């Protein structure tokens, strides 16, 4: 079962730091209420790798384009009111819809 983001993690996101793509991805996922365990399926990576990105770890160049496209899609859906996901079921359906489009 997906876990929510910890308070400690949310506090680290709120601190001013150098913004990396992974850090921006984390903020976007939190804002959209998309659990990490669902998001990692989009990229075909482990939750551990995703959390490394979230904390500023490097993203391989071949994945950077996919991450940027995902962020753009989520931001568009946040603006249009499709997101934030109201519950885990909605979040899972959202991610599954993205995977169907690929």
Q: DSSP label at 18? A: -
Q: Output the pLDDT for position 5.
A: 77
Q: Output the pLDDT for position 3.
A: 67
Q: Output the pLDDT for position 77.
A: 97
Q: Output the pLDDT for position 4.
A: 75
Ordered by start, the domain boundaries in the chain are: 7-101
Q: Output the pLDDT for position 11.
A: 75
Tell me how far apart the alpha carbons of residues 69 and 86 are, in angstroms, rounded to a whole number: 23
Tell me how far apart the alpha carbons of residues 19 and 21 are, in angstroms, rounded to a whole number: 7
Q: DSSP label at 33? A: T
Q: Output the pLDDT for position 24.
A: 92
Helix ranges (DSSP H) in 1-84: 7-14, 21-32, 36-43, 47-54, 61-80
Q: Which two tokens stand for residue 83?
A: 């997101």
pTM of the predicted model as reported, rounded to 2 decimal places: 0.86
Residue numbers of the chain with a pLDDT score lower than 50: none
């Amino acid at each position: 079962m997906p876990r929510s983001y910890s308070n400690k993690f949310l506090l680290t996101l709120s601190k001013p730091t150098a913004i990396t793509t992974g850090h921006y991805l984390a903020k976007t996922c939190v804002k959209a209420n998309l659990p990490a365990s669902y998001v990692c399926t989009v990229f075909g990576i482990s939750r551990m790798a995703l959390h490394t990105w979230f904390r500023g770890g490097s993203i391989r160049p071949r994945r950077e384009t996919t991450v940027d496209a995902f962020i753009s899609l989520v931001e568009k859906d946040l603006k249009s009111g499709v997101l934030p996901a109201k519950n885990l079921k909605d979040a899972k359906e959202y991610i599954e819809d993205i995977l169907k489009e690929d």
